[in-house]
Each structure stands twice: as C-alpha cells, then as structure tokens.
Amino acid sequence: MTEQLSTRVQALELPMTIEMSKKSRELAAKGVDVISLSLGEPDFDTPDFIKEAAIEGIHQNYSHYMPVPGFTDLREAIAAKFKRDNHLTYGVDQIIVSTGAKQTLANLMLSLIEPGDEVIIPAPYWVSYLDMVKFCEGVPVVVESSIETGYKITPEQLEASITDKSKLMIFSSPNNPSGAMYSESELEGLARVLRKYPNIFVISDEIYELIQYGYKHTSIASLDGMYDRTATVNGLSKGFAMTGWRIGYMGAPAWVAKACDKVQSQFTSGTNSIAQRAAIAAVSTEPSQIQYMIDAFTERRTKMLNWLGSLPGFRTSNPEGAFYVFAEISELIGKSFNGKVIENDMDLCIYFLEEGHVSSVPGSAFGLPGHIRFSYAASISELEEAYKRLAVAIDNLSA
C-alpha cells in the first residue's frame, strides 16, 4: 500500500541527542575511539539497595497487572518524599507513576493542550518538550535566555510572552542542557507574573533535583498560589542512576492527575511492576545515600569548567545543577577547517566528532543555537582526554 503516515507523526523529529549518539556509535563501530559526551545519563550503576528491592519484588511475585497510577505503597512513599524534600502535600490520588518522566510529560500535555493553545517554553529547553507540544497541536512560544542571565528567563520576558492563548508553561530546574537552577526568589519573580494570569498551568520538571552543587532546590508549586496550578514532575533516571528502569512520577491537582490516569490507562497501563518495587526503596531514601555520585559529579564539574573555560572561543556559565556544561561557542562560527566553513553549532559538533572524536550536542537541539552541550557523566580521564582533543581541534581551525 502507499505509505500514509499521519501528519502528526510526519512532523515529529528524532531528538538530536539521539541522532548525535547514533553518529558517534557509527564512528565507534568503524574502530574510532570516540569519547561520548552527548548522552544524558549518569555513568554509575543503580545502587545495590535499589537492586535488592527489585529482586525481592520478583520473589514476592509482583508479576501481575498493577493499578494504572502505580502501587499505593509507592505513591505513599512518593507523597512522603514530596513532603520531606519539597514541602508539598499531595494525597495518593494526586500522584501518578509512569514509564519515565517522559511519559509523565506526555500524559500531561495530552491532557491539557487544546489545538492552538500557546505553550511557553524557556530556552534552552529539554529536546522533547517542543515536539510533544507540537504533537498535541499546541503552539510553542520559545523564550530565549542567554549566558548573561545564567540561562534563566526574567519575569519581564515571561510577561512579554503571555497572550490570551497562553495555556501552559514548561520548564526544568535544574535545567537540561544548561544546568541552571532557579533560586526561590527567581521562581518567586516568575510566580508573581503568573499569579496575574490564573489560566496558565505550569509543568515543573524537577528530574535533576538531586544533582546540584550546594544550591537549594525549590519547587515552584510550594510558592503562594502555585500549588493548584502546577504539576511537579520528577523521576528516578538521573538522581538514582536508573535510566533503564523507566520510572517517572508527578504530583498534581487531583483533576489533572485523574486525566493523566485516564490517558495512561488507554496507552500503557501501570508501569513495570518490578521497577515500581525498586522505586519504593529509592524514593524512601534520604538524599545522603547517593552523595557519592554527587561528590564525583562535583569534582568533574570543577575540572570541566576549568578545562572548557580555558579553550579559545568557549564561554561557560556557572551551572548550579545537572551534569552538563553548556558552552557558548559563537566566536568559533565562521572559522574553517580544510577550506570548509563551520556555519553553525551543528557543524562544529560534527567537526569535533569527526576530527576530534568527541561527541556533544548542538545548542540548536535545545532551542539555543551558538552553544554546545557537553555531558560530564564520564570518568575524569575521559574528560581530560576530551579536553585535549578539543584543544587540538580548535587549534586546527583557521580564521
């Protein structure tokens, strides 16, 4: 038959993060020793106490269909976590567990966006927000930040982006790709604007909450007047090194949770039962249990900022959280190698991959061209080697 894909799917793009990983794997398959700094996942294994909880779950025969929004005891443990870490009181009926925060976000957007609704997305943003919004026939309204404001938008910028069609705002703090974390007073600045527009709902993606460097994480839902109009999204992939387990969750007003439950019941049902048993152990843990990972990230962050900051043409900010350095590289645009001009950040990423054998992701994937994201979820020796290769690659560019 003729290929007749829906326009919705045809408009969907593959995330550039996945494209870059594919390119670097292809090069590695040819025997090239590529240092991969393009992926967004911790290089640690899942902690043993979480693995043990999963094994116990298998022995206890958690092998049947489970409630769509998640096991009640897991949702109780998540409610306790929200109270302990975020000063948020959610009842079990306000919590939905999903197959990764990605599904949590998809559930929310499918539940909330009407065709033509405007969705405010501060840039740089996580790759999938934009495509999810478009898939739901919403209209993304991208608000760009810059290195000058530490990659955070200002209340004035937020207010200027609001129209009578504004329905949602989606942001992550700590941010992927910039690592920026909004302080309580910065969030209060945004909340002050949002209070004037009660019809705008907020999706606050806090999946990097535990990975931060001496700063205080604040959930926007904990600020005056925000609780009833915010979904607080989180998950286990980053903080607990559990990307493959696929556990995401949210706390939200009951009417939103009910809608997400309905969407999930038709598309996937409850998420993997064994992963849910493991999740109870993870969310019930004091953050100190994973401090060894944060300590390792802290050391790498300091080194990466020194190394990358010293490269000609690189400007770096002060990422408060996550495990990325988002480097401003616009000075390198227009330079050339073997007569081929580097026209944009994508060209530079490909040049670094092909000539320096270091993979990274262009800022344009995150809505902010002129930048490159490097993950430092890699060993110090790999990071140092990557830095040396980048230094040579930059040196080989001509003006």
Residue 101 binds ligand PMP (CB under 6 A):
yes
Write out the DSSP string of 100-160.
HHHHHHHHHHHHHPPTT-EEEEEES--HHHHHHHHHTT-EEEEEE--GGGTT---HHHHHH
Using the minimum distance from each CB to ligand PMP, give the nearer residue, 40 or 356.
40
| Residue showing the smallest CB distance to ligand PMP in the complex | 100
Contact of 359 with 20, CB cutoff 8 Å: yes
Q: Which of 43, 66, 79, 102 binds ligand PMP (CB under 6 A)?
A: 102
Stretch that binds ligand PMP, among 56-64, 94-102, 347-355, 375-383 (CB under 6 A): 94-102
- Minimum distance, C-beta of residue 145 to ligand PMP, in the bound complex (Å): 15
- Rounded to whole angstroms, the Cα distance separating 81 from 139 reads 34
- Minimum distance, C-beta of residue 39 to ligand PMP, in the bound complex (Å): 9
Stretch that binds ligand PMP, among 98-106, 131-139, 213-221, 326-334 (CB under 6 A): 98-106
The mark string for 181-220 relative to ligand PMP (x by CB under 6 A, - otherwise) is: ------------------------x-x-------------
Residue 71 binds ligand PMP (CB under 6 A):
no
Of residues 137 through 176, those in contact with ligand PMP by CB under 6 A are 172, 176
Residue 40 binds ligand PMP (CB under 6 A):
yes
Biggest CA-to-CA distance, the chain: 65
3-state secondary structure 211-238: CECCCCCCCHHHCCCCHHHEEEEEECCC
The mark string for 117-136 relative to ligand PMP (x by CB under 6 A, - otherwise) is: ---------x----------
Quote the tokens at residue 218.
Answer: 């604040």
Whose CA is closest to 273, among 72, 46, 51, 70? 70
Whose CA is closest to 228, among 84, 93, 90? 90
Which H helix or E strand runs over 60? none
The mark string for 216-235 relative to ligand PMP (x by CB under 6 A, - otherwise) is: -------------------x
Contact of 282 with 80, CB cutoff 8 Å: no
* Binding site residues, ligand PMP, CB under 6 A: 40, 100-102, 126, 172, 176, 205, 207, 235, 237, 243, 248
